[in-house]
A and B are shown apart, each in its own frame.
Chain A
Amino acid sequence: MHELSVAHAVVSTVVDALPTPDTRVLQVRLRIGELSGLVPQALEFAYDVAAQGTPLEDAVLVIERSPIVIDCPSCGEQQIASAQDFRCPSCQQPCGNVVGGKEMEIVDITLDDVLVGGVAR
């Protein structure tokens, strides 16, 4: 249950990125890999708590899941693997060379531009 720590980190990173402290955030888009250990539902719940009283209070959280991708040295191809068995689905060789699936990234944020700097644009 580190989702609450992660949710606080999301809120503080977004707040630091705002052009002005009163900018309202409408949406936050995250990319969360299947190997990140994060449970999306738990993260959504924690986010609601962490966002209270911040410019993100009304922002929708969109979570995109990214699969585990391995770079197989035997057949030289990138493949989607299962979390229980890091084996190349093509050649069946065990492969620990994971190139995707660990993401925990804030992709973008959508801001209410009307309030940027307190001036309508």
Chain B
Amino acid sequence: MTTRIVDLRKGVLEKNDLLAQSLRAQFVRANTRVSNWVSSPGSGKTALLEALLTAALAQSVSAAALVGDCATDNDAKRLERSGAPVRQIVTESMCHLEADMIASYLDGWDLDTIDLLVIENVGNLVCPTAYDLGEDTRVALLSVTEGEDKPAKYPQLFHSADVVVITKTDIATAVEWDRLAAMAAIRAVNPTAPIIETSSRTGDGVLELLHMLLAPMPSNPSPQLQEAP
């Protein structure tokens, strides 16, 4: 038997990555800012997202959300209370969202009329990390009820985050949250991402997060910034 070795050198997720790049180009053309929210189940993603969408609409920012879950449209129903358009992606057994799901669920939405699109990924700290959805900002969330060492346990996600959001800070004292230990754990795997501390209940940090998600992209600095020494 003769054998032949063929060099492939192909990314395993190349199909997803190519589709994500095409989505990203669409978002940039439409001037739509897109964030991909990843965290464990129960970290308070949906509550924070509801507060963020409500704050966005109050500031006349046109916001919309895609929300992924293995089953039920409970989260979409909660988010619809904000008044923003919301679509639920039910993944059934899938533990993460992929770019083709985003493409198909955007169908019929006019991106030109959406300033801010938030994608709430399936609650999972491992699998969503590998899949580019075309977002400009990946948000990793960590609630004060989780261990402060979670970034050390899931370094892939926290390393890949553009913004790290701490949630449920209103109950930090009650659960003996060690803020400094958490900050150190985040910084060990991600020395540069901004860290925003939030509470959906009090509204702390919600506007700061909204402004960050809408801020000019750091990768596309304005000409003035480029000329600065």
Which of A's residues lie within 8 Å of B, judged by CB?
Answer: 1-2, 5-6, 9-10, 12-14, 17, 26, 30, 35-38, 83-87, 94-96, 98, 104-114, 116, 121
Query: Which residues from B are CB-within-8-Å of A96?
Result: 159, 189-192
A96 to B191, CA, bound (A): 6
B187: A residues at CB distance < 8 A:
94
Q: Are A84's CB and B130's CB within 8 A? A: no
Q: By the criterion CB–CB under 8 Å, are A121 and B13 in contact? A: no
Please tell me if the beta carbons of B3 and A94 are within 8 angstroms of each other in the complex: no
What's the Cα separation between A20 and B127 when bound, in Å? Answer: 33
Q: Which residues of B contact A5 (CB under 8 A)?
A: 94, 96, 98, 127
CA distance A53 to B131 in the complex (A): 27
The SS class assigned to the A binding surface is: mixed
Q: What is the number of contacts between chain A and chain B, taking CB atoms within 8 Å?
A: 114
**Roughly how many angstroms separate A2 CA and B98 CA in the complex, as a whole number?**
11
Report whether A86 and B6 are in contact in the complex, using a CB–CB cutoff of 8 Å.
Answer: no
A1 touches B11 (CB 8 A): no
B28-39 interface bits toward A, Cβ cutoff 8 Å, 1 = contact, 0 = none: 000000000000
> What is the distance, in angstroms, from A13's C-beta to the closest C-beta of chain B?
6
Point out the residues of chain B lying under 8 angstroms from A13, CB to CB. 8, 10, 12, 14-15
Write out the residue numbers on chain B whose beta carbons fall within 8 Å of the beta carbon of A110. Answer: 3-6
